[in-house]
A and B are shown apart, each in its own frame.
Chain A
């Protein structure tokens, strides 16, 4: 278990985010046009100012908060698997990536039996191919297969 002080990092990130959006809003997009009234930067700039001020307040308050946030390795594994699906989509396509992910997750991580794995795979295949693919007509990316086919 790692102890990360994200309670301070998040408000600082938000404040930085607000500064960028506020600056772009006022100086690049424009705040007020004398002829046409509010310019494209009008609304987001005001919101960015409020966000900046409250983020600084949240940053100060974060030092008074009790406890630190704990992140578990297993939680990061889910994030890694999501990233894995996205990356492998460019090689074996979206449907192939999803199926591969199901098999790997259930067999390697959950140590599930082949019977359970195949049942889950069949249910997912019904939803992905049957409902989304055939009925709703969604054409999923095929990755490198697209070039081969």
Chain B
């Protein structure tokens, strides 16, 4: 109840003309930055940070918070319309968003599904942050290396649900992603790994150019064979209006359960140190894969878009809990925001909620405000976004190619990034042609460094003993879940064979 009163007080702070304007600007910029491949929330927040120096801390953090938050909305735009994820959490959105837009010819509905799910997930995240922020942050602290290892093992096992028809190819490509991620400086010992004497490889493979190439540029290569089809494949016979993009009641009923489920899950993932919106988005999708969906995931299912979009927005909101209550950033963007808080003379930590209530509750209230503002803007821009699809494919090809090149350069400030984009584009094209799914490669690339560093830290803590994974209560429970996830398909297969054997007798 006290939190509710403080939140109302926060709304008084957030609803001033200046702060609403700051949230609006942050929301618009976040949408643009999120939709631009290669930029992402980290660069967006970092670029805007110096501009906020002259503002008072509350207005400044409201603007940055709105940008960070609305960035999650923007990432889905290019993923759905062009199959180029604007940022890493949108990889999962592209899996169902692009097929829904291109094959099912429902791009408006796909965008609206993403917007509504983001809103629902984000709202859940902010509500949880409001009522349990400091407690949630403390729970996140209980997740040490062994707990994170067990959680990430569950996540990595879940990748197998994305491997498609040939599990062998799926495992090969997952391992390929993991090994590529190990190139560069070892984060724990500082030893160069697999650089083969090349100074560029010493820095590892930059993620954003890699993803732009594997998903975006490979898509352009394939798109060339469809260039005689005329318009962008999706919007030929649909109305370019908000009304024409509305989802039906039935669609909404399909969207709601995964969005609600992913909202809670994503918030929890967002609180965990280092997990971030990408892991949240992936976990949301993986859980949905285990649930009942009207259409198969990966074919343009509403449930697929809703599960990952709700989870990544909820994770973005959840990430504020450890940042504000403990002063621990959960991601690179969180670290920049922390730098901002310090720049404005604030000390994030357990006392921030009591010492700076105007600031803290103003920020939380502004997240509610940003969520509504971003939804309104995102829905209003749908007709303009859909116009992209009315551009003929033959004109889209050079435009997307240039965006891939410029986006990959911008994220790495080096032609090495463009080269990585180009090579991963060719690799993605060849793999796709030969029925190797590329999504597991991208996801394992994101999760592998987290898994490796946590696993090694756990072993270092335990002196090389496996006991650490079975003696700590949270780890033990997660390991049981992990073994359950691994064993379920095997047991199911054995049961099936037994039943088939009995039937044949």
Contact = CB atoms under 8 A, between A and B. Distances in A.
B201 interface: no
B166 interface: yes
Given A102-B398, A110-B394, A136 B172 contact: no
A54 B399 contact: no
B399 A138 contact: no
B191 interface: yes
Interface stretch (B16-24, B215-223, B316-324): B215-223
Contact of B422 (A39, A72, A86): A86
Contacts of A112: 394-395
Interface string B385-398: 00000000011011
A120 B401 contact: no
B401 A37 contact: no
Interface in A100-118: 101-102, 105-106, 110, 112, 116
A39 B399 CA distance: 45
B455 interface: yes
B415 A127 contact: no
Given A78-B401, A79-B221, A58 B194 contact: no
A110 B419 CA distance: 26
Contacts of B415: 86, 89-90, 94, 141
Contact of A98 (B406, B448, B460): B406
B403 interface: yes
Interface in B448-462: 448, 451-452, 455-456, 459-460
Interface in B421-476: 422, 425-426, 429-431, 433-436, 448, 451-452, 455-456, 459-460, 463-464
B255 interface: no
Contacts of A83: 422
B74 to A, nearest CB: 13
B32 interface: yes
Which A-B residue pairs are the 8 nearest by beta carbons? A51-B175, A44-B182, A37-B459, A40-B186, A43-B452, A54-B171, A105-B398, A37-B464
A90 B418 CA distance: 12
B433 A101 contact: no
A143 to B, nearest CB: 10
Nearest to B187: A40
Secondary structure call for the A interface: helix
B172 A55 contact: yes
Nearest to A104: B398
B179 A47 contact: yes
Most buried by B among A42, A82, A83, A102: A82
A98 B429 CA distance: 22
A101 to B, nearest CB: 7
A123 B406 CA distance: 14
Interface in A37-74: 37-44, 47-48, 50-51, 54-55, 57-58, 61, 65, 69, 71-72, 74
A146 B207 CA distance: 28
A145 interface: no
Given A10-B430, A17-B179, A105-B398, A78 B220 contact: yes
Interface of B: 32, 36, 39, 43, 47, 166, 168-169, 171-172, 175-176, 178-179, 182, 186, 188-189, 191, 193-194, 217, 220-222, 224-225, 227, 394-395, 397-399, 401-403, 405-406, 409-410, 413, 415, 418-419, 422, 425-426, 429-431, 433-436, 448, 451-452, 455-456, 459-460, 463-464
Contacts of B448: 43, 47
A135 to B, nearest CB: 8
A77 interface: yes
A50 B177 CA distance: 13
A6 B433 contact: yes
Given A101-B398, A120-B395, A131-B36, A43 B455 contact: yes
A47 B175 contact: yes
B168 A43 contact: no
Contact of A44 (B178, B429, B464): B178
A85 B405 contact: yes
A6 B402 contact: no
Contacts of B175: 18, 47-48, 50-51, 54
A40 to B, nearest CB: 4
Contacts of A54: 168, 171-172, 175
A101 B178 CA distance: 35
A38 B459 CA distance: 7
Contacts of A136: 39, 43, 47, 410
A40 B169 CA distance: 27
